[in-house]
Amino acid sequence: MAFSLTPRDSAFYAMFTEAGQNVAASADILSGLLDPNANRESIAKQLREREHAGDSVTHRIMRQLNTSFVTPFDREDIYRLAAALDDVVDAMEAAADFVVLADVGKLPALMADQINLLVTSAHETADAMARLKTLRDLEPYWIEVNRLENEADRVYRKLLSKLFSGDYDALTMVKLREVADGLEDAADALEHVAHAVETIAVKES
C-alpha cells in the first residue's frame, strides 16, 4: 500500500475524498426529483446546502494548494480536479433550483434517464476519489465515466430533439431545455473530473 510522505498530502487526499462524497450525495438528492410527489423546494434547498459544503472543501483545497511548497500532484492538476468537482455540484444545484423557480411541471422520461446516469457516474467518481491516495484501479473508473458521458450525451440530444419537435409550447420548451442543459453540464463536469484524474495517473505512472 502506498503511503503519503507528509501530513499535508494526507490532507489533500482527505479533502478530495470529502469532495467526492459530496458529489455522490448531491446526485442522490437530485434523483429525488424523479418522484412525482417530491417536495421540490426541499430538494433544491438540500442541494444548496451541498453546494455550500462543496464550496467549503474547494476553498480549503485551494488554500492548501496556495500555502504548500510540495504537493502530491502537479498544482495545475489539483486545481483542475478541485474546480471540476465543484462544477458538478454547482450544475446539479442550478438544475434543481431552476425546476423550482420556473415551476417547470412534469419532467420528461428522457430527463429521468439523464438523472439516473448522473447518479451512477457520481458514485463511480466518489469511489475513485477515495483511491487517489494509492492511484490504484483508476483506469476502469475513467473509462466507465467516459462511457456514461457518451450515453448521457445521446440521451440529451434525443431530449432536445423532442423539446424542439413542436410538441411543447415555446415557454415550456425553453424551461425544460434549461433543466436539460444543467443536467448535461453536470455530466460534462463529471467527465472533466475523470480527465483530471487520468492526467494525474498518467504522470505518476
Binding residues for its own copies, rule: CB under 8 A, are 62-63, 66-67, 76, 97-98, 101-103, 157, 160-161, 164-166, 169-171, 173-175, 199, 202-203
- 3-class secondary structure, 137: coil
* Ordered DSSP codes for 167-195: SS-HHHHHHHHHHHHHHHHHHHHHHHHHH
The CB-of-165 to its own copies minimum distance in angstroms stands at 8
- Listed as own residue / partner, the contacts of 77-81 with beta carbons closer than 8 Å and 24 or more positions apart are 77/196, 77/199, 77/200, 77/203, 78/12, 80/192, 80/196, 80/199, 81/16, 81/193, 81/196, 81/197, 81/200
Closer to its own copies at the Cβ: 111 or 126? 111
Instruction: State which residue, 103 or 109, has the beta carbon closest to its own copies.
Output: 103
Nearest distance in Å: CB 15, its own copies? 17
Task: Compute the least distance from the CB of residue 170 to its own copies, in Å.
Answer: 4
Whichever of 147 and 157 has its CB closer to its own copies, that residue is 157
